Structure 1
């Protein structure tokens, strides 16, 4: 569970709700026509832009913002170096019975054990990386579209409310409900965009960056194993994927 995402989202909605409740009657902020315009209009507009399967799949991708656990690169480095040591002593076939926790690394090692050429292995793993990133970016694009369309639908609702208000100026009882639609649609659109859709899109972009880094690190390790690079040299190479402040920590953990 990503506590930052959960705390941030609950905190944002909690602060908004607290401001509404402490400021007076909270029921005045509930308006069904405004919700229909913003929620329904936003979803329908985004469906125009993307296929239905991509739209529904984006919510599965969005779970990575809440429950995805990214592996530490230093753990991947230690595992890669350990496998390189085994391959140096026993040959590549000695990796066949090794326990490997990361599925992407496990797949790459299996390619090596099966005797595929380094060019083939790199090509297959690169294709895996690119397709994974493409799926993630598709989910990001849908949430960015939601973030873009919600305020736009809020503005449309505002215009609808203003037209209704101006067309009923002779009836004071109609002015209040029309003005509520005008203002609340803008509020709903801003909340959906800035407290939900756009933050989720940015968190998914961060997850994509982390996954790309880890998979490129693994690809480098597998390539080093196939080329027979000295494990110590490979470790130094893989540590370039870490920030300078974390590189010494890998050595300390190995020593421990």
Structure 2
């Protein structure tokens, strides 16, 4: 679990609640069901209207990466690529067939298959980079769903505020009805702006960072596999791939 992300969420929420308490407010003043329905429902509805179903589902699945970020074994993968290079120099590219079936990463397995089949290095690079770019774009679109929600929620919060003020104006003659309308008006704005700036936009940027991290890892894999196909010295491959490690 990514403790830093969890800590950041906790700080943001506690800062709002603590500031409200210091101003003399109570938790009840920030709890408003109608405001939550307006902001959350309106935001999700707007995003569903603009987003293909598969992209929206991908965005939901990517949410787990906020607290449980994927890990990319750069060091371990470099060692394997260098060992494969040594094996290819001693046994030929066909000697890599015995490690092909043991490889779990589909992207690496596809690249290794291209190497074993004797494809030209430039063709291997072109095919793998095409898959890399396609995969990266799909994941960035998923992150863009959260980014869009972060753009819509403040506006939906303002709509909720206007709706609350309309209710207030309609009940000026009855003071007992004013409280609910005023609460909806102000709390919906807090919900909209708070969701956008404390959750949605930071989450979108965090997912983008993970997407770019995965692409960086795959770029290293491509470089290693192409070097193996070119018959490069394993020691030089190790030095080259070390440049990808932060």
TM over 0.5: yes
Question: Offset at 1:19?
Answer: 5.2
**1:213–1:241: 8 Å Cα contact kept in structure 2?**
yes
Question: Offset at 1:167?
Answer: 3.4
Q: Which residue matches 1:229?
A: 232
Q: Is residue 2:219 matched to residue 1:187?
A: no
**2:70–2:210: 8 Å Cα contact kept in structure 1?**
no
> What is the SS of the residue equivalent to 1:241?
coil
**1:2–1:69: 8 Å Cα contact kept in structure 2?**
no
Q: Is residue 2:13 matched to residue 1:13?
A: yes
1:201 to 179, 201, 204: 204
> What is the SS of the residue equivalent to 1:196?
helix
Q: Is residue 2:40 matched to residue 1:44?
A: no
Q: TM-score, normalised by structure 1?
A: 0.86
**1:168–1:175: 8 Å Cα contact kept in structure 2?**
yes
Question: Offset at 1:20?
Answer: 5.2
- Choose 162-171 or 226-235, whichever is displaced more: 162-171
Alignment of 1:1-256 (within 5 A): 1-17=1-17, 23-98=24-99, 99-100=102-103, 102-243=105-246
**2:55–2:138: 8 Å Cα contact kept in structure 1?**
no
Q: TM-score, normalised by structure 2?
A: 0.89
Structure 1: how far apart are the matches of 2:208 and 2:103?
A: 27
Structure 2: how far apart are the matches of 1:185 and 1:68?
A: 31
Q: Which residue matches 1:252?
A: none
Matched residues, number: 243
- Choose 54-63 or 102-111, whichever is displaced more: 102-111
Structure 2: how far apart are the matches of 1:240 and 1:52?
A: 39
Question: Offset at 1:158?
Answer: 1.1
Residue deviations 1:204-242 (CA, integer Å, cap 9, x gap) = 110011111110111000000000111112222222223
Structure 2: how far apart are the matches of 1:76 and 1:14?
A: 41
RMSD in angstroms over aligned alpha carbons? 2.1
Residue deviations 1:178-229 (CA, integer Å, cap 9, x gap) = 1101100011112211222111101111001111111011100000000011
**2:227–2:237: 8 Å Cα contact kept in structure 1?**
yes
| 5+ residue gaps, structure 1 | 244-256
Structure 2: how far apart are the matches of 1:84 and 1:17?
A: 57
Structure 1: how far apart are the matches of 2:63 and 2:118?
A: 38
**2:58–2:139: 8 Å Cα contact kept in structure 1?**
no
Structure 1: how far apart are the matches of 2:195 and 2:91?
A: 57
